[in-house]
Chains A and B, each alone.
Chain A
């Protein structure tokens, strides 16, 4: 278990506008999710704020799932990248407001699809897909919606397993978390 400090106090501002210092954006965009390497932690919506105070960079990240082991790696990756850029970084996990798949950027959604992971649907459709077996998830390989769920839980906490019944390819679906 890591020794990251958790800040649990809710911060009222859930919008990212003005909360990430412009000088840090490109550094943060170069860090990817260790389990989905095509997705930067910025596009994932995991970074909630990043500010420079003197030479200390303070960064808040929101865990996708409570037990996601990637969070410890992301914390270490951030510190390493910041060090390379000449900063000392302090990384805090914040639980509130809780991360939601709505924070994945449009660019992030496209990266997921290109990588072969179906991007999350809205909450209502997600329920229909996972509970009632409705065919709404689009196969990232051939684009067909003739797909079926194999398992509600997949290779990582955030995904479910699907298969396309047209091209027969199995694929991951990124579950909606809201």
Chain B
């Protein structure tokens, strides 16, 4: 493939949305209330819509006859480059919102920079997506606030979720070789530069929600290299079930 770095760079961004979209989609019909159920599936729909644009572009770059569906459905676990954060299970509504919030703040910052990409396709996708993601961020920040500043029970559970997921936040700011190459070309976003703004925003929401900022300095990584947590296999089994069972089926 001629443009391998660009291809991998796109997957690095898109896979986060695909896997988080799949996680949110799991809540369809299972959300804690009708409104939150609808909200989570709406966000899932936005993310999957964004993913289609990225994968269609990636398929064009690959130029080997694969379609967006092939890229989404037919890779092995080690070929997905999403961060570990987004594949973490729903566990309870606190975890679901904590995961969403910790990703949304990053996602918004990243898209703001991607809008300036010299690659017009990526810039267009970012411009479209950021409008949707700003709603996601509002929604998840609002829930962090409500749960944190809610009852004793909700406070302790959202704090536990934040503490547990904190270990996956640092990976958001790691760069792969493909990322570095794309940053050098003015196509990619230098995510290392987003770290300060990210923690500043996250911490201020946590403080407003009367939650404490975790002090742990130990962070997990691996997703960007295709090394995933034990949850990923189960997620893919469900995501890929139809395509694996009935190869080449079409909707």
Chain A residues with CB under 8 Å of chain B are 1, 3, 6, 8-10, 63, 65-69, 95-99, 130-131, 150-155, 157, 161, 175, 177-178
The reply to whether A67 and B50 form a contact with Cβ atoms under 8 Å apart is yes
Q: A82 → chain B, closest Cβ, in Å? A: 23
Q: Are A10 and B120 in contact (CB under 8 A)?
A: yes
Interface segment, B35-43, B87-95, B152-160, B232-240?
A: B35-43
Q: Among A65, A66, A153, point to the contact of B38 (Cβ < 8 A).
A: A153
Given contacts A66-B52, A150-B35, contact A95 B135 (CB under 8 A): no
Whether A1 and B39, one on each chain, are in contact in the complex, defined by CB atoms closer than 8 angstroms, is no
B176 at the interface (CB under 8 A from A): no
A98 to B130, CA, bound (A): 10
| A-B complex: 8 closest residue pairs judged by Cβ atoms | A67-B49, A66-B49, A96-B124, A151-B35, A67-B45, A153-B39, A153-B42, A8-B121
Q: Which residues of B contact A63 (CB under 8 A)?
A: 49, 128
The answer to whether B42 touches A96 (Cβ under 8 A) is: no
| Cα–Cα, bound, A97→B68 (Å) | 23
Assess whether B39 is in contact with A152, with CB atoms less than 8 Å apart.
Answer: yes
Q: Hey, which chain B residues are within 8 Å of A177, CB to CB? A: 131
**Binary CB contact string for chain B from 28 to 61 against chain A (1 if under 8 A, 0 otherwise):** 0000000100110011011111101100110000
Q: How far is the CB of A71 from chain B (nearest CB, A)?
A: 9
Nearest-CB residue, chain B, relative to A158: B42
Q: Does B123 reach chain A (CB closer than 8 Å)? A: yes
A65 to B134, CA, bound (A): 13
Q: Can you name 12 A-B pairs with beta carbons within 8 Å?
A: A63-B49, A66-B49, A66-B132, A67-B52, A96-B123, A96-B127, A98-B128, A131-B142, A153-B35, A154-B38, A157-B46, A175-B135
Q: Is the Cβ of B49 less than 8 Å from the Cβ of A68? A: yes
Q: Given A10-B120, A151-B39, A153-B139, decide whether A95 and B127 contact each other with a Cβ distance below 8 A.
A: yes
Q: Which chain A residue has the least Cβ–Cβ distance from B21?
A: A67
Instruction: Give the residue of B39, B128, B132 whose beta carbon is less than 8 angstroms from that of A95.
Output: B128
Q: Is the CB of A66 within 8 A of B123?
A: no
B100 proximity list for chain A (CB < 8 A): none
Cβ-closest chain A residue relative to B39: A153
Q: Which residues of the partner chain A approach B56 to less than 8 Å between Cβ atoms?
A: 6
Q: Which residue of A lies closest to B68 (CB)?
A: A1
Is B125's beta carbon under 8 Å from chain A? Answer: yes
CB distance from A36 to the nearest CB of B (A): 16
Q: With A1-B68, A150-B35 as given contacts, are A66 and B53 in contact (CB-CB < 8 Å)?
A: yes
Query: How far is the CB of B115 from the nearest CB of chain A, in Å?
Result: 10
Q: A6-B53, A65-B49, A157-B132 known; 12 other A-B pairs, CB under 8 Å?
A: A1-B52, A6-B56, A8-B121, A8-B125, A63-B49, A66-B52, A66-B132, A67-B50, A95-B128, A152-B138, A152-B139, A153-B39
Determine if B52 and A8 form an interchain contact, defined as CB atoms under 8 angstroms apart. Answer: no
- Chain A residues with CB below 8 A from B48, complex form: 67
Q: How far is the CA of A9 from the CA of B251 in the complex (A)?
A: 28
Q: Which of B67, B120, B135, B142 contacts A9 (CB 8 A)?
A: B120
Q: A68 — which chain B residues lie within 8 A by C-beta?
A: 45, 49
Closest to A175 in B: B135
Tell me which residues across on chain B come within 8 A of A6, comparing CB atoms. 53, 56-57
Contact of B69 with A by CB under 8 A: yes
Which of A8, A99, A154 has the most C-beta atoms of chain B within 10 angstroms of its own C-beta? A8
Q: Please give me the residue from chain B that is nearest to A159 by CB atom.
A: B42
Contact with A along B63-79 (1 / 0, CB 8 A): 00001110000000000
By a CB distance below 8 angstroms, the chain B residues around A9 are: 120-121, 124
Q: How far is the CA of A178 from the CA of B127 in the complex (A)?
A: 10
For B48, give the chain A residue with the smallest CB separation. A67
A67 near B46: Cβ-Cβ < 8 Å: yes
A151: chain B residues at CB < 8 Å are 35, 38-39
